C-alpha cells in the first residue's frame, strides 16, 4: 500500500471510494491497523476515556497527546496520522499554533479541532503555516457540558442548517477533512454533498465519505458501554487483525454502518 496523504483521501471521495479510519494510541495497535490497510489513524482525545478511565475528554493535556502521537508514529508505515488538539489547547491563535506544532513534530500529518465557524481564522493560520486541519462538527465531546450530555446534535432544522453553513465555512478556511459525530443520517448526507472535502462519520449515517470508530468500541473492549453507532468486529472474527480487515471491507462495501447503527 502506498503512503496515504490528504490528496489520497480527496481522490477517494471524488471516485466514490469509502475511507476507513480508526483511533489508536500506541505503536502495536497502530502497526496492526496500518498492516490491515486502514486509511487513517486518529490519536483521539478519547484516550482520556478509553485509556485513562475519565468520564469525558476534558482532562486530556497536550503532553498526553504528544506522547501517544509519538507512540503511534513508531508503528505506522503508510497510514495518515491525525492527532487531536485537546480541550482548550486552541482557545486562541497563539495556543493553537504552538500546540499544533508540537503534534506535528511528534509525528502527526494533520491535527483535528472541534468547532464551527469560530475556528475559521485559526484554520487559515495553521494551513498557511503548513499544518493540515481536520475539522469536527456535531457531537463535539469537548463541549459535552454545553450540550448537557453526550446527545445527538442537529435534530432541529435551524441547527442542521447552521451545521451545513459551518461545514462550508470550515472548508473555505482550508480544512481538508471533516469528522461528523452523532448527527441524523440525512444531515450526514446533506453535509457530505454540500462540501468537496471528505467527511468521516461516527454515528452520522452511511452516506458520509468514510467512517471512524474508537478502536475499543470496534473491538468491544470499552470499559463503559457499546455505543449504538458501533459494532463488535472482534466478536465476529475472534482475531484483532481480521476484525479491522472486516471493518474496512464492510465500510468499503457500504454494509457498515447498518440501519441499527444510525440516528434518524
Segment interacting with ligand KIV (CB under 6 A) among 28-36, 44-52, 74-82, 160-168: 44-52
Instruction: Give the residue from 149, 181, 151, 156 showing the smallest Cα distance to 167.
Output: 181
Q: Report the nearest approach of ligand KIV to the CB of residue 21 (Å).
A: 8
Q: Report the nearest approach of ligand KIV to the CB of residue 117 (Å).
A: 19
Q: What Cα–Cα distance (Å) separates residue 90 from each residue in 138, 230, 243?
A: 18, 29, 35
Counting contacts by CB under 6 A, is residue 217 touching ligand KIV?
no
Counting contacts by CB under 6 A, is residue 179 touching ligand KIV?
yes
From candidates 69, 83, 84, 170, binder to ligand KIV by CB under 6 A: 84
Which lies closer to ligand KIV via its Cβ, residue 149 or residue 238? Answer: 149
Q: Report the nearest approach of ligand KIV to the CB of residue 47 (Å).
A: 7
Nearby residues of 18 by Cβ (< 8 Å), 6 or more positions away: 12, 209, 210, 211, 251, 252, 254
Which lies closer to ligand KIV via its Cβ, residue 173 or residue 202? Answer: 202
Q: Which conformational region is residue 119 in: left (phi greater than 0), alpha (psi within -120 to 50 degrees), or beta?
A: alpha
From candidates 202, 204, 234, 248, binder to ligand KIV by CB under 6 A: 202
Which lies closer to ligand KIV via its Cβ, residue 34 or residue 84? Answer: 84
Counting contacts by CB under 6 A, is residue 72 touching ligand KIV?
no
Counting contacts by CB under 6 A, is residue 240 touching ligand KIV?
no
Distance (Å, rounded) from C-alpha 37 to C-alpha 20?
A: 9
Counting contacts by CB under 6 A, is residue 175 touching ligand KIV?
no
Q: What Cα–Cα distance (Å) separates residue 50 from each residue in 25, 47, 98?
A: 10, 5, 26
Write down how long the chain is. Answer: 264
- The catalytic residue positions are 181
The HSE-up count of residue 166 (CA atoms within 13 Å, CB side) is 21
From candidates 13, 19, 41, 45, binder to ligand KIV by CB under 6 A: 45
3-state class of 28 per DSSP?
A: helix
Counting contacts by CB under 6 A, is residue 80 touching ligand KIV?
no
Counting contacts by CB under 6 A, is residue 171 touching ligand KIV?
no
Instruction: Give the residue from 206, 207, 184 showing the smallest Cα distance to 137.
Output: 184
- For residue 193, how many other CB atoms are within 10 A of its CB? 11
Burial class (CB in 10 A: 0-12, 13-18, 19+), 258: exposed
Among positions 6-25, residues that touch ligand KIV (CB under 6 A) are 23
With CB atoms as reference, the residue minimizing the distance to ligand KIV is: 44
Counting contacts by CB under 6 A, is residue 214 touching ligand KIV?
yes
Cell digits of residue 48: 482520556
Counting contacts by CB under 6 A, is residue 212 touching ligand KIV?
yes
Binding site for ligand KIV (CB under 6 A): 23, 42, 44-46, 84, 179, 181, 202, 212, 214
Amino acid at each position: 500500500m502506498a503512503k496515504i496523504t490528504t490528496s489520497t483521501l480527496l481522490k477517494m471521495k471524488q471516485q466514490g471510494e469509502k475511507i476507513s479510519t480508526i483511533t489508536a494510541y500506541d505503536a502495536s495497535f497502530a502497526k496492526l491497523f496500518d498492516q490491515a490497510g486502514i486509511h487513517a489513524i486518529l490519536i483521539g482525545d478519547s484516550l482520556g476515556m478509553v485509556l485513562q478511565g475519565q468520564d469525558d475528554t476534558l482532562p486530556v493535556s497536550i503532553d498526553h497527546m504528544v506522547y501517544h502521537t509519538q507512540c503511534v508514529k513508531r508503528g505506522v508505515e503508510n497510514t495518515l496520522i491525525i492527532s487531536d488538539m485537546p480541550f482548550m489547547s486552541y482557545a486562541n491563535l497563539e495556543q493553537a499554533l504552538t500546540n499544533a506544532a508540537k503534534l506535528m513534530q511528534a509525528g502527526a500529518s494533520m491535527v483535528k479541532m472541534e468547532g464551527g465557524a469560530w475556528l475559521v481564522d485559526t484554520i487559515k493560520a495553521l494551513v498557511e503555516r503548513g499544518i493540515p486541519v481536520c475539522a469536527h462538527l456535531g457531537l463535539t465531546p469537548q463541549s459535552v457540558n454545553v450540550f448537557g450530555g453526550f446527545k445527538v446534535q442537529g435534530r432541529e432544522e435551524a441547527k442542521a442548517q447552521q451545521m451545513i453553513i459551518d461545514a462550508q465555512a470550515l472548508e473555505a478556511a482550508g480544512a481538508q477533512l471533516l469528522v461528523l459525530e452523532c448527527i441524523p443520517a440525512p444531515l450526514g448526507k446533506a453535509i457530505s454533498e454540500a462540501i468537496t472535502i471528505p467527511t468521516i462519520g461516527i454515528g452520522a449515517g452511511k452516506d458520509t465519505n468514510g467512517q471512524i470508530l474508537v478502536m475499543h468500541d470496534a473491538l468491544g473492549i470499552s470499559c463503559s458501554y457499546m455505543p449504538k453507532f458501533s459494532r463488535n468486529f472482534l466478536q465476529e472474527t475472534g482475531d484483532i487483525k481480521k476484525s479491522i480487515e472486516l471493518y474496512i471491507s464492510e465500510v468499503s462495501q457500504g454494509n457498515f454502518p447498518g440501519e441499527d447503527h444510525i440516528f434518524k
